[in-house]
Amino acid sequence: MSPSSSGHVHLQKGQPFYVKYREIINRLMFLVGALLVFRLGAHIPVPGINNAALENLFNANQGTILGMFNMFSGGALERMSILALGIMPYISASIIVQLMSSVVPSLEALKKEGEQGKRKIQQYTRQGTLLLALVQSVGMCAGLISQGITLSTGLAFYVPAVTSLVAGTMFLMWLGEQITERGVGNGISMIIFAGIVAGLPTLVMQTFSSVESGQSSLIAILVFAVLSLIVLAAIVFIEKAQRRVPVNYAQKQQGRRVFTAQQTHLPLKINMAGVIPAIFASSLLLFPASLGQWVGSNDPDAGIIKRALQDLALVLSPGQPLYLILFGALIIFFCYFYTALVFSPKEVAENLKRSGAYVPGIRPGEQTSRYLDHILNRLTFIGAIYMTIICLMPMVLQSSFGVPFYLGGTSLLIVVVVVMDFMAQLQAHLTSHQYDNQTLMKKSTAQP
């Protein structure tokens, strides 16, 4: 780059790579730095925790809802760090606000107000995150005290512990927003991705240790690895698949200008619900298993209630037939439920009608809405079956081959979807940067 007489900086050919892609490199460096801060925070403990008793608790509660929350927090829950709540309160608040915006007229009106309405909804989401984090942190502290894991009780433990946990969640929410704005990719998704990937080395070491100890065979692991690659390819294929509904724009005239008819398409993804159905289904099914091991564990008089909960936890433990059936049914239900929230055929049909667009062979308005709803139902069915197979396959393979590799289908979906979104956004930044560079080059060569 060289300065011109007018003071402008012109791009020239042969410039260094860092200079050419400075903005993108800075974004990637910010992303890496933010994720390192997240991993550092996952090792800062909450004051007043008995680490030995905490380790015993997690060893006794493997396969419960604790394991899933621990996965999303990147092991912070197992260490009971200040980030133990993870980003789950923010995700829950976002889903609740989305649900409310489809029911409450005032919130539904905010969605249609553009950027200003979006900021207001985001403010409600942050307030909901704070409220949920406060409630969950108090409940977590009460549970820790009841299990005898704390070094103190009462306000001496509640005040510093609740403050630390709530501050950790709000910090993660802020960090995710900063990654979205100044980094590459969706910040919240990248934090969840980093938490899952952080546990992969431990899982791989456990897998190979099982081979050395004779608990599983090397052939079974190789078969599992090949099937995993096939599943990864299937996930990428389905996540990229679209049903393109043709849309035509009628010829129109504004003043003396005549706009010719245009042809485009409306892309409908097979899996519009993302990984939300799998997370909801896992949470609902793992909750009884958690209650069976928590409620009455230290109470010898619990009696019938405790035995009933333990029997229920045994029947609904991961890998059991009833668990697999209910898990698949809940995934299918939440796929339809969440897709209905994020995509409204009636609203899309009205927008097409207002803009003078129509689907060939379909009358605008109500018929277009029914046509889109018919297509969406079929796509959602395919997406629900696909997600059910992906989430249930690891459990079936583990019980059949005995491979102790505990990266579940939900985690696999999150990892692949986040990587695909990251690559798409990185490609978009590269394309935009290349276009800006070409524009500046043309302007610089046009100047005398």
**pLDDT, tens only, 342-370:** 888 998 999 888 888 888 888 888 999 99
pLDDT of residue 447: 56
**Nearest by Cα to 71 from 163, 190, 195:** 195
| The pLDDT of residue 64 is above 80 | no
Q: Give the pair of three-digit tokens for residue 111.
A: 């969605």
Please give the CATH topology (third level) of the domain spanning 16-198+414-448: Preprotein translocase SecY subunit (1.10.3370)
Alpha-carbon span 432 to 435, nearest angstrom: 5
**Nearest by Cα to 190 from 201, 178, 202:** 178
**pLDDT, tens only, 118-135:** 889 899 999 999 999 998
| The pLDDT of residue 162 is above 90 | yes
| The pLDDT of residue 204 is above 80 | no
Strand order in the sheet with 357-358: 262-269, 242-249, 357-358
Strands (E), 334-374: 357-358
**Nearest by Cα to 241 from 275, 271, 265:** 271
Angle formed by the axes of helices 187-198 and 22-41, nearest 10°: 60
- Give the angle 38-83-52 at the CA atoms, nearest 5°: 115
The C-alpha torsion from 352 through 355 and 361 to 363, rounded to 10°, is 70
Residue ranges per domain, the chain? 16-198+414-448
**pLDDT, tens only, 364-374:** 889 999 999 99
Q: Quickly list DSSP for 12-79.
A: -TT--HHHHTHHHHHHHHHHHHHHHHHHHHTTSBPTTB-HHHHHHHHHHTTTSHHHHHHHHTTTHHHH
Burial 155-182 (b: 16+ CB within 10 A, else e): eebbeebbebbbebbbebbebbeebbee
274 — pLDDT class (breaks 50, 70, 90): confident
Q: Give the pair of three-digit tokens for residue 351.
A: 């927008």
pLDDT of residue 280: 80
Alpha-carbon span 285 to 218, nearest angstrom: 32
pLDDT above 90 covers what percent of the chain?
A: 19
| The pLDDT of residue 249 is above 70 | yes
Q: Give the pair of three-digit tokens for residue 131.
A: 């409220």
**Residues composing the chain:** 448
Task: Select the highest-mean-pLDDT range: 165-179, 265-279, 304-318, 319-333.
Answer: 165-179
Tokens 């007018």 sit on residue: 6
CA 327, distance to chain mean position in Å, is 19
4 — pLDDT class (breaks 50, 70, 90): very low
Alpha-carbon span 209 to 236, nearest angstrom: 30
**pLDDT, tens only, 212-229:** 666 666 777 777 778 778
Angle formed by the axes of helices 409-446 and 218-240, nearest 10°: 50
